[in-house]
Chain A
Amino acid sequence: MVKRQRKPQKSVIEIFKIYLLEHARVLFASLGRIMKTPFTSLMTVLVLSVTLTLAGGFYLMVKNIQQLSGSLETSNQISVFLKTKVQEREAKTLAATIKGLPEVVSVKLIGKRQAMEEFKAYSGFGDALEALDNNPLPIVLQVLPVAKSMDAAAIKRLMDKLERYPAVDFAQLDMLWVKRLQSISALLQRTVMVLNSLLAVAIIFIMGNTIRLELQNRREEVLIAKLVGATHAFVQRPFIYTGFWLGLFAGVLAWILITLVVFVLSEPVENIASLYQGQFELLFLSLTETLGLLALSALLGVLGAWAVLFYQLRQIRPA
């Protein structure tokens, strides 16, 4: 028998250190491997990043719409449409009367001409309106009730009161639109949740397929490593890290793509916002959300790799 040197007992810390070093080695080795096949890797990263961009874009859309309906939520503004025959002077008197009501904070009068200008500018019917002999638009009083948290019944009472003035055609609560917007936004949110879950599954499958091909290319290597005593964990480590890197790179690229999309969309969105006199700013991914995107894409990469390895590695015989 060989005189086997007794292995010096390694301390736990030392074993852990070697373990970490091994992980670091594989981390960079798999990065090197990705760089060796730039074209294939780039294709995978591109496909993944487009998928991630879609998911991130959906997320941002919902976030912005929520912001929109959120900022409107606090306004209980009532639009009071006067009868068309009512003239500007009469309207001013009525505005002053309404302003005198205890439930009302402010009243803003939108004259026929102003209404027409706005309508022409934004409706797209500018030329058609030129053809009209007289201005068909009524005067509108925008009434802001006192308490922002006024309950629905109180607002209803106020609206009834306003509608009783003879000059008033009807009063409309702008809140109604907010309510509709909110329910649309809730629907949208749920839709996006479902879509994004599907996209996450797609990412896992794309990654799984990439790793499967990589595993096929390196079958011989895996086999030899197993024959000299490699554990499953050892054999699958480089593939898991490949998944990590591809996922991370896809996340970075997706962030850049999302930024571009937001940049392209910001101007038209601001135009729309100005139409509604809204204090609306297109929201972008926060730092936390950006980090979340990167972490999630790396995690999905790892998951995809792991899912495939779990089945495929056990099929490479001998065990």
Chain B
Amino acid sequence: MLTFDHVSKRYPDAGDALQNVSFYLAPGEMAFLTGHSGAGKSTLLKLIAMMEKCSRGHIILAGKNLNRVSERQIPYIRRQLGLIFQDYKLLLDRTVFDNVALPLVVSGYHHHEIGRRVRAALDKVGLLGQEKKYPLALSGGEQQRVGIARAVVNKPRLILADEPTGNLDPELSEEVMHLFEQFQQVGVTVLIASHDIDLISRMNYRVLKLDHGQLVQEG
């Protein structure tokens, strides 16, 4: 599903963010990406989402070498991904429904199909019936679940989550992680960046550990 082949990323002013990182994620696998802040977790996710380009090496996503993807094709690559952010990145002036529908609207789905899929996604995260509310009327945990619904509504093959539980208390964090497990169980590949060691250790999944831009532990 996802291959990193000797990938490095150097920022002109901040130096090496990633150095010679190689790993492989099998289809349907779930893995954690961990490390101290500034270890390069976010950078790694940004490279997959094509928010940045790597300086050296190759990233192969679903058989496509991202180095050979032109700027015009980036949107179509992103439609295969589900992105989840620590700060949720919801549109505060749009309803929950409109927020979740955005990836479908962007991809040009028919509105019947949009309604059906949005409700299915909200049902999965346990927010059915809240479509008409605005994000700020929801709790932090609920907002993050809206973010997750938006990430899965397009039936992505790979979910990337950047500190999805960073702003949530332990109980809510656990809930959110269980949601990810459910997606993994139906075959979606999941990569979660997190520094919540306790939570990660309680769940029995592969852990990729970054230290100063280098992959120090894999397994």
Contact = CB atoms under 8 A, between A and B. Distances in A.
Nearest to A4: B155
A73 interface: no
Given A4-B155, A221-B91, A318-B51, A227 B108 contact: no
B74 A319 contact: yes
Interface stretch (B14-22, B99-107, B121-129): B99-107
B57 interface: no
A229 B79 contact: yes
Contacts of A231: 72, 75, 106
Chain B: interface residue count, which band?
Answer: 35 or more
A3 B91 CA distance: 31
Interface string A163-198: 000000000000000000000000000000000000
B81 to A, nearest CB: 8
A1 B27 contact: yes
B187 A2 contact: yes
B188 A2 contact: yes
Contact of A319 (B50, B154, B157): B50
Chain A binding surface SS class: helix
B155 A220 contact: no
A19 B89 contact: no
Interface string A223-267: 111111111001000000000000000000000000000000000
Interface string B172-192: 000000000000001110000
A228 B71 contact: no
B195 interface: no
A121 to B, nearest CB: 68
Given A4-B155, A18-B108, A319-B74, A228 B51 contact: no
A224 B101 CA distance: 12
B28 interface: yes
B91 A234 contact: no
Nearest to A314: B71
Interface residues of A, number: 24
Given A2-B155, A2-B188, A318-B46, A227 B27 contact: no
Contact of B186 (A2, A230, A234, A318): A2
A189 B107 CA distance: 50
B83 interface: yes
Contacts of A228: 78-79, 83, 102-103, 106, 150, 154
B108 A19 contact: yes
Interface in A210-226: 220-221, 223-226
Among A4, A224, A229, A230, the most chain B Cβ lie within 10 Å of the Cβ of A229
B83 A1 contact: no
A228 B188 CA distance: 17
Given A1-B27, A229-B78, A234 B106 contact: yes
A224 B91 contact: yes
B91 A318 contact: no
A3 B155 CA distance: 10
A230 B103 CA distance: 8
B74 A227 contact: no
B49 interface: yes
Contacts of A160: none
B157 A2 contact: yes
A265 B72 CA distance: 55
A231 B103 CA distance: 11
Interface in A1-24: 1-4, 15, 18-19, 21-22
16 contacts: A4-B157, A22-B108, A226-B75, A226-B78, A227-B49, A227-B83, A228-B78, A228-B79, A228-B103, A229-B77, A229-B107, A229-B154, A230-B106, A231-B72, A317-B51, A318-B49
8 tightest A-B CB contacts, nearest first? A318-B51, A229-B79, A229-B78, A2-B187, A228-B103, A230-B106, A231-B75, A229-B75
Given A19-B108, A227-B83, A318-B52, 20 more contacts: A15-B108, A18-B109, A21-B111, A22-B105, A22-B108, A224-B89, A224-B90, A224-B91, A224-B102, A225-B106, A227-B51, A227-B78, A227-B89, A228-B83, A228-B102, A228-B103, A228-B154, A229-B107, A231-B106, A318-B49
